[in-house]
Structure formats: structure tokens, C-alpha cells
Amino acid sequence: MTDNNSDKIMVTGCRGMVGRAVVDLLRLDGDREVVALDRQALDITDEKRVVEAVGDLRPGAIINAAARTDIDAAEADVHVALAVNGRGVRNLALAAERYHVFLCHFSCAEVFEGKSSTPYREWDDHWPRSRYGESKDAGEKMLAAIWDGFVLIRSGWLYGAGRDNFVDRAAAALRAGEKVRAAGDIIGAPTYAGDLAAAAITLSDARARGYYHFSNDAGDGVSPAELAREIARLTGMPETLVEEVREADLERAPRPAYAVLRLEKFREMLPGLVRPWRDALAAYLSGS
């Protein structure tokens, strides 16, 4: 629509790990108008409020970082996760379609079954193993069914400022000289939320359409135990503090055994934004 403001970007879920990183990066550009909305300002599960907000603001783009990401909580009560990750995405898609607003949305590797031995491609079949994965898959399907003016970015094991995550927990425990139990039999790609935010903004600015995979480059993947040992090395603590266990020993909701995403499509468009996982982790832990 001609009355949308192309320099105005609406960010939902602005207090979360990814939303916070997106807003911080956007605000470095003084030419943008950033409308940062937390859950109190806009509950995306409320269709009427979402449509009214988008109609009033008329942004050029929406970056949806609102999500329920607690995998274990979703396993115990999937309804809350489905409300946000499924119906909330539907509501944003309906509003975006009505006002012709570009929509950037985030998903994850948990939509895949995890039985592959090679990184997942954007078009591979979905067979989520957890209720959380089912909720993210539901959001993906509703978005695609409603509005074609979107980019959907699936990512890996996220860490960053603003929310509880494995990297921060492990670093704090190791610095205190405490043991860290981490699975050695599941594989993924640790990904800094700031790098994902940069990827999302760049794809949104380019009005890229469809599905993209983005993570820090972990090759064929690393285990949480390997990640924890790298955190120990970077924090100057002994790697012997890391106790490698089986995923089944951790008594939590199932994770995909293999959750690595293929990055070729993103690399072809924006090769400079993909950096090795060890480099991203070192920069985050050093505060640089």
C-alpha cells in the first residue's frame, strides 16, 4: 500500500534475545523509525489488537521476534507455545496481508526430525519430535498459507544477551569452578543472536522472499559438550569441569539428534555474514 512508511520497522517481542538484538542494530541507523513492541504493548495472540496495531502504524516491514522458546515448558503445556508460535504468527500474517506489509519471521531446526546425517535444506520435510517443534511448524504453515510477502529464517542453538541460554549458564558455572553436564550425542550449530539479527535485517532490507537457513558456521555440527569445552577454554577454566553425558540422561523434552542447517542459500546472497561458531562465541564471551 502506498501509505506504508518504508523507513518504519515494527519489531515484536523486543525484550527477547533476538528482538533485543534486532532493535539494537536497527537503532544504529538514524534514518529508521523503529517501533519496538513487547508483549505488554502488543500481545500477538490477540488478532484484533494485531490488525489494529499494523493498521495504525503502517510500517514498511515487521520483524517478528515474539516467541515462546522454552522447549521443556512446551512439552508440559503445548497450548501456550501454540498460542504464540502458531496463532500469533497467523495473526501477524493476516495483518501483513491486509496492509501489504513485508514480514520477517524466525523458526528453528526443531521443525525437522533430526535423523539426518547431513545439514538440513530449506525444503526438507518436517517431522518435529517435540511439542515445541510442532508449535513452530504450525506457525510456518499458517504464515505460508496466508501471505507470500515474507521471509522465514530458521536458525540454530541461540545464545545472547537478555534471556537465559546454555552459553551464559555454562560460562557462569565454569567461572565458579562448577561442573557442567552437557550432552555429547546430539549435534547442532551454536548461533549468536546478534549475528541472526544482522541476517534478518539484511534479508528484510533486500525484501528477500521465502525460506532461508542461518546459523554460525559449525560445519557438520558440534555437540553441547564440545561447545561447553570451548567455553571452558575461552574462559580459562579446565575442560575437565565439563561432564559429557547422554541426552537421555538430562531428563528433558526431546531434542533432534541432528539439528544442523545447510547455509548455502544464505551464503550465496550474503557470504560475509556467516562467521565460524568459535569466532562468534569468543567475541560474545569477551564482550566485543
More confident residue, 70 or 20: 20
Q: Which fold has domain 5-164+190-217+260-275?
A: Rossmann fold (3.40.50)
Q: pLDDT class for 203, splitting at 50, 70, 90?
A: very high
The model's pLDDT over 105-116, given as tens digits with 9 standing for 90+, comes to 999 999 999 999
Residue 271 DSSP class = G
**CB neighbourhood size of 56 (10 A):** 8
Distance CA 281, CA 157 (A): 12
The model's pLDDT over 142-168, given as tens digits with 9 standing for 90+, comes to 999 999 999 999 999 999 998 899 999
DSSP labels, 200-269: HHHHHHTT--EEEE---B-TT-B-HHHHHHHHHHHTT--GGGEEEE-GGGG-SS---SB--B--HHHHHH
Flag whether pLDDT at 288 surpasses 80. Answer: no
Helix axis angle, 131-146 relative to 89-99, nearest 10°?
Answer: 10
* Mean pLDDT on 169-174: 98
Flag whether pLDDT at 170 surpasses 90. Answer: yes
pLDDT score for 151 = 98
Element (H, E) at 168: helix 166-175
Backbone angles phi, psi at 276, to 5 degrees: -60, 145
Catalytic positions, written as ranges: 132
Please state the domain extents for the chain.
Answer: 5-164+190-217+260-275
Q: What is the mean pLDDT of the chain?
A: 95
Distance CA 254, CA 224 (A): 14
Distance CA 30, CA 146 (A): 33
Residue whose C-alpha cell reads 496463532 in the numeric block: 87
Query: 210: alpha, beta or left, given left = phi > 0 and alpha = psi -120 to 50?
Result: left
